[in-house]
């Protein structure tokens, strides 16, 4: 399995471990997504972010902006990944 696919699957397995009523913060969610995002993003060309972005140098504040970026990236990456699972012409 490709490292990117394994990273996405690992995030999904981790979320499956959460149970209804578990306390989950935005930071918890971002910490689950971010390693998989790093595995999938080849180059970072965004204003005010280092290139390459790593777990050690990703700006963690302001929290709303960080979460918005990470959630958007996760959504785009998984949309592409999940489209790979679709069988054409069905």
Q: What is the pLDDT of residue 79?
A: 93
Give CA–CA dist 23/21, Å, rounded: 6
Query: Confidence class of residue 86 from pLDDT cuts 50, 70 and 90?
Result: low
- Nearest alpha-carbon partner for 71 in 11, 10, 6: 11
Q: What is the pLDDT of residue 65?
A: 93
Give CA–CA dist 60/84, Å, rounded: 31
Question: Is pLDDT larger for residue 1 or for residue 81?
Answer: 81
- Nearest alpha-carbon partner for 70 in 86, 58, 79: 58
Query: Confidence class of residue 83 from pLDDT cuts 50, 70 and 90?
Result: confident
pLDDT in tens, 14-68: 988 888 888 889 999 999 999 999 999 999 898 988 888 998 999 889 999 999 9
């Amino acid at each position: 399995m490709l490292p990117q696919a394994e990273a996405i699957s690992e995030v999904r397995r981790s979320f499956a471990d959460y149970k209804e009523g578990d306390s989950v913060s935005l930071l918890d969610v971002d910490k689950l997504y971010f390693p998989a995002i790093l595995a999938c993003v080849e180059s970072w060309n965004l204003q005010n972010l280092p290139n390459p972005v790593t777990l050690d140098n990703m700006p963690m504040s302001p929290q709303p902006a960080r979460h918005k970026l990470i959630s958007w990236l996760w959504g785009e990456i998984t949309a592409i990944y999940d489209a790979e699972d679709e069988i054409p012409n069905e």
